[in-house]
Amino acid sequence: MASGQRTQEGAAPADAKTAAAKATTTGFVPPDARLRARAVGTLMNLDDGLQAAFDPAAFTPIAAPLADDWLAQHGESGQTFDQYVRGRPNRPTAARRTIYLVPVGPPGGPPIDVLADFARAHFQLPVRVLPAIDLAATGAKVRDRGSFRQILAPDLLEHLKTRLPPDGYALIGLTATDLYPEESWNFVFGMATLRERVGVYSTARYHPAFYGEEDHYPAPERWVMRRSLKVMAHEIGHMFGMEHCTYYECVMNGSNHLEETDRRPAHLCPVCLRKLHYAIGFDPDRRYRDLERFFRKNKLGPEADWVRGRAEAIEATAGRR
């Protein structure tokens, strides 16, 4: 990927002609077990705990996409672990290893302190919250959509580049205002740079009330929480140079719409977990235990049970009790 290249999630074209073109299927075929194993890379020289952490058998292979899913409409070949390493991705250093979160515009969505707690557990790095930025101070273009406003996401990214502290590895803006990537598109959930370590995502469309469907969702705030955690982990993952995953069900899978986001797990697959481990060097067992504590505290039981299972598998393999 070229320096400064941006990724975007869930973008929707504004006109019918563009939408029809986007609906053309790519013919994506899920990779077989041999290709998935090659994507993880050889595990022979790793210790028992790491071999257990990256064991492909413990994860779910990616399913064939539905007609309106990301991989049905975007041709992506995937990024193996070896390709990731050869690409010389950004990695934290002793002087630059803090992840910063910053609210942009009027408040909304989950409490930012909760999001920061999740980021600490997921990335195993220091996380700090910056004072909120007034939307007008960003200089970003805003357009009126009748009942709501939208911010031009690339403008926000340009502003956020000027806000990245010297000790910051990455900076992600969190906004409750809807985003759009360019004039010809309706919206975008989020956008991030692969090299410049800044990103932004919006929670505007996460609440069922945005679509008038709040009566169909039990505990809608929990839906907002799950969606926020997944998209934040995904966008910050891009800042570590990780491209969309095409091998397993993974938080780094591309997503075209909320239904697809909801189907995706909140965890990294073995390919992407190994990439993040290469970049940071954390203890996978401790990471899963930190995530379990977070999920239990925030009443996200299925996610807590899954990471607990992975921690127990690593501990059993490594002989730790």
Positions annotated as catalytic residues are 235
Q: Which amino acid is at 47?
A: D
Q: How many Å apart are CA 279 and CA 284, to the nearest integer?
A: 13
Q: How many Å apart are CA 127 and CA 98, to the nearest integer?
A: 6
Q: How many Å apart are CA 198 and CA 208, to the nearest integer?
A: 28
**Tokens read off for 6:** 């941006």
At what angle are helices 270-280 and 33-40 packed, to 10 degrees?
10
**How many residues are given for the chain?**
321
Q: How many Å apart are CA 105 and CA 177, to the nearest integer?
A: 7
Which segments within the chain are labelled E, that is strand?
6-9, 12-13, 98-104, 127-129, 142-144, 149-152, 168-175, 178-180, 185-187, 190-193, 198-202
Closest CA to 135 of 102, 184, 171, 110: 102
Question: Measured at the alpha carbon of residue 27, what is the angle toward residues 26 and 31, in degrees to the nearest 5?
Answer: 115
